[in-house]
Structure 1
Amino acid sequence: MSETEISNVLRDPRAVVRKFQARPQHEGNGAIVRRSIGRFELKYFDPFLVLDEFSISAPAGFPDHPHRGFETVTYMLQGAVTHEDFEGHKGTIRAGDLQWMTAGKGIVHSEMSAVQGTQKGLQLWINLSSKNKMIEPRYQELQSKDVAEVAKDGVKVRVIAGEALGAKSPVYTRTPTMYLDFTLQPGAHLQQPIPSKWNSFVYTLDGEGIFGSSKSSLTTAHHLLLLGNGDGLEAWNTSSKPLRFILVGGEPLGEPVVQFGPFVMNTQEEIDQTIDDYEYYINGFEKAKQWSSQTKLGLEF
């Protein structure tokens, strides 16, 4: 995104137009998530379907379940999670690691605690355009050491997708997306450009800070901030402790969205077809008929 190189001064910073706290709820098998996008207050923020901050402890997790029509981005903050699917792909992601999974026409997988203690992370669901909903599933995975990271003037950024402070992620995003993990030291000030036509939001993880305008009130952890129009985000850490948050932006698809749990298509007819495909093991779900994860079978991963 060349806009990140335009200037150190934003001409039209984005204001915070909506703010609410993500409260804990139960999901999966014994998992706790703070869901901010994908709940009743905010069903969809084009192109984003769900944002969960999850917390799980063994043996809890997300057992065998299907997806179609979108991508999941899992970013680990603490601990480790094992993943396996009916295509034979399996592995473990640990703190700082990233998995960008394109479900496409269909995948059945599981995500479970890999170690003792509490595993924490973020999972973002990104919608796919109609032309990409039925592509073959694939993965992009980065270990923490391979995630681009830059620190300057009290601002550190880990570039999950897109570009910031001159660093660029190798991740390819079918739906154009930026995903940046910022840590601001006390007294630090950030100006981060965002493509003008993209939707964008902030999700706060630790500490407290000011976003959008220097006159805004302090925002603490576990808050979602929807940003309005403008050319970028301005943020300040006026506290005595580090401030950590993610900034996510994406190009809106502008297409109809029909969602039925883990299936996201453009029409009700496509959803009905997806349910039939899954129930009858056809059109991308053929391997689901004979497959169960090792965790479900009680085997050691």
Structure 2
Amino acid sequence: MGLNVVSKVRSVLKHFVAIEQSEGAGALVKRSIGTIQMRNFPPFLMLDNFDVSPPAGFPEHPHHGQETITYVLRGMMAHEDFTGSKGVLRSGDLQFMTAGKAIVHSEIPVKMDNGESTQGLQLWVDLPNDIKNVEPRYRDLRREEIPLATPSDNLIVKVISGESYGVKSLTELAYTPVEFYHFIANKKNTEFAQPFSDDFSSFIYIMKGSISISDQEYPESSAIFFKNDGDGIRGFTTSDNAEFAIIAGKYFNQKVVQYGPFVESSRENIVDVIQNYQNGVNGFENARTWSPVIKNGVTEAEVQQYLPKGN
């Protein structure tokens, strides 16, 4: 097992505890990026820690000029778009979606037999200006495809995208280079570290427990954003059974003009995208007539028909 060597720890730019709010149709989210406290953190545009139960969800809505990463931590999430693509993310699965030129999709929690809600993280990532209009695509990353790093008896790292402790993930998951690690510690005072390239913006979101960085403690639901003044992040857990995501993305210096789920480089371009959506043109042709199959809900018994064979 390799070491995660960090010579100079990055200093904290800003931190706060994400507050729960309503989103979609009856869903609850703890939003950190995309708020007054942190409007965006290039290349990241939004981070939601969602908790949703049927019949609530995220019904038909468009995207343009960005990518989304959805990570299901509990329960299952059904998804469908206006091209006819559909599927289900199980607990531990991820979806990397490139909206690019145009996509309209729906995300609905599966009705679980045990009554549990569906919980997870959704991250919105900016696309470089020269590929804002790329054709949309999906990449579902199944939990079986995610390698684990075990640097100690008390620490497991799910290497979703990138390299940690000598373990490398699958590649070509998204256009914008993003590193994504799920750290799971079972004991207080467990040390963790993650190095990054100089041109990668980095942050931590704590799903469970608490951690300490540079002698400051951060509680559950904290979002911690770092300056690019070191070669990585290092800290300790301050509770048993701590779980947190360490995420980084390549910074590119471009203007971000955002109108809800539409992201562009100028106000004029945003106006064009809104008109395209309203008029059903330039990629949005199916938006007016599409009605998702999953809109009436998906039960756990129906999930198998949405999964690839062998899952």
- How far apart are 1:208 and its partner, in Å? 1.2
| Equivalent residues in 2 for 1:85-100, closer than 5 Å | 85-100=81-96
Q: CA distance change for structure 1 residues 279 and 8 in 2, over 3 Å: closer, same or farther? A: closer
- How far apart are 1:114 and its partner, in Å? 0.9
How many residues are treated as equivalent by the alignment?
292
Once residues 101 and 159 of structure 1 are traced to their aligned partners in structure 2, the CA distance between those partners, rounded to angstroms, is 19
Residue 305 of structure 2 corresponds to which residue in structure 1? none
Divergent runs of 4+, >4 A: none
- How far apart are 1:143 and its partner, in Å? 1.3
- How far apart are 1:8 and its partner, in Å? 4.4
- How far apart are 1:166 and its partner, in Å? 1.7
| Equivalent residues in 2 for 1:77-92, closer than 5 Å | 77-92=73-88
- How far apart are 1:17 and its partner, in Å? 2.4
- Can you list the C-alpha shifts for 1:87-116, whole angstroms capped at 9, x where unaligned? 111000011000000000010000001123
Q: Quick one: which amino acid aligns to residue 188 of structure 1?
A: T
Once residues 281 and 9 of structure 1 are traced to their aligned partners in structure 2, the CA distance between those partners, rounded to angstroms, is 51
Once residues 94 and 171 of structure 2 are traced to their aligned partners in structure 1, the CA distance between those partners, rounded to angstroms, is 10
**Contact between 2:4 and 2:165, CA under 8 Å: does it hold in 1?**
no
**Contact between 2:108 and 2:297, CA under 8 Å: does it hold in 1?**
no
Q: CA distance change for structure 1 residues 182 and 190 in 2, over 3 Å: closer, same or farther? A: same
Q: Quick one: which amino acid aligns to residue 137 of structure 1?
A: P
Q: Quick one: which amino acid aligns to residue 209 of structure 1?
A: I
Matched, 1:52 2:53: no
| Equivalent residues in 2 for 1:27-176, closer than 5 Å | 27-116=23-112, 117-153=116-152, 154-172=154-172, 173-176=174-177
RMSD: 1.6
Q: CA distance change for structure 1 residues 260 and 238 in 2, over 3 Å: closer, same or farther? A: closer
**Contact between 1:185 and 1:237, CA under 8 Å: does it hold in 2?**
no
Please point out which of 204, 207, 226 is paired with 2:206: 204
Once residues 56 and 297 of structure 2 are traced to their aligned partners in structure 1, the CA distance between those partners, rounded to angstroms, is 15
SS of 1:84's equivalent in the other structure is strand
Q: Quick one: which amino acid aligns to residue 158 of structure 2?
A: R
Matched, 1:189 2:188: no
Once residues 145 and 157 of structure 1 are traced to their aligned partners in structure 2, the CA distance between those partners, rounded to angstroms, is 14
Once residues 209 and 294 of structure 1 are traced to their aligned partners in structure 2, the CA distance between those partners, rounded to angstroms, is 42
Once residues 115 and 149 of structure 1 are traced to their aligned partners in structure 2, the CA distance between those partners, rounded to angstroms, is 29
- Can you list the C-alpha shifts for 1:178-230, whole angstroms capped at 9, x where unaligned? 1111012323211211112211100001111112x1x22x2111000011221
Once residues 52 and 144 of structure 2 are traced to their aligned partners in structure 1, the CA distance between those partners, rounded to angstroms, is 24
Once residues 198 and 142 of structure 1 are traced to their aligned partners in structure 2, the CA distance between those partners, rounded to angstroms, is 22
Name whichever of 198-207 and 164-173 sits farther off. 164-173
SS of 2:157's equivalent in the other structure is strand
Q: Tell me, which stretches of 5 or more residues in structure 1 are unaligned? A: none
**Contact between 1:81 and 1:119, CA under 8 Å: does it hold in 2?**
yes
Matched, 1:255 2:254: yes
Name whichever of 277-286 and 45-54 sits farther off. 277-286
Once residues 16 and 249 of structure 2 are traced to their aligned partners in structure 1, the CA distance between those partners, rounded to angstroms, is 20
**Contact between 1:160 and 1:171, CA under 8 Å: does it hold in 2?**
no
Residue 14 of structure 2 corresponds to which residue in structure 1? 18
Residue 265 of structure 1 corresponds to which residue in structure 2? 264
Residue 292 of structure 2 corresponds to which residue in structure 1? 293
SS of 1:295's equivalent in the other structure is helix
Q: Quick one: which amino acid aligns to residue 266 of structure 2?
A: T
Once residues 211 and 55 of structure 2 are traced to their aligned partners in structure 1, the CA distance between those partners, rounded to angstroms, is 35
**Contact between 1:62 and 1:110, CA under 8 Å: does it hold in 2?**
yes
Name whichever of 252-261 and 27-36 sits farther off. 252-261
Q: Quick one: which amino acid aligns to residue 235 of structure 2?
A: A
Q: Quick one: which amino acid aligns to residue 36 of structure 1?
A: S
SS of 2:124's equivalent in the other structure is strand
Once residues 111 and 143 of structure 2 are traced to their aligned partners in structure 1, the CA distance between those partners, rounded to angstroms, is 18
Residue 307 of structure 2 corresponds to which residue in structure 1? none
Name whichever of 146-155 and 93-102 sits farther off. 146-155
TM-score (norm 2): 0.90
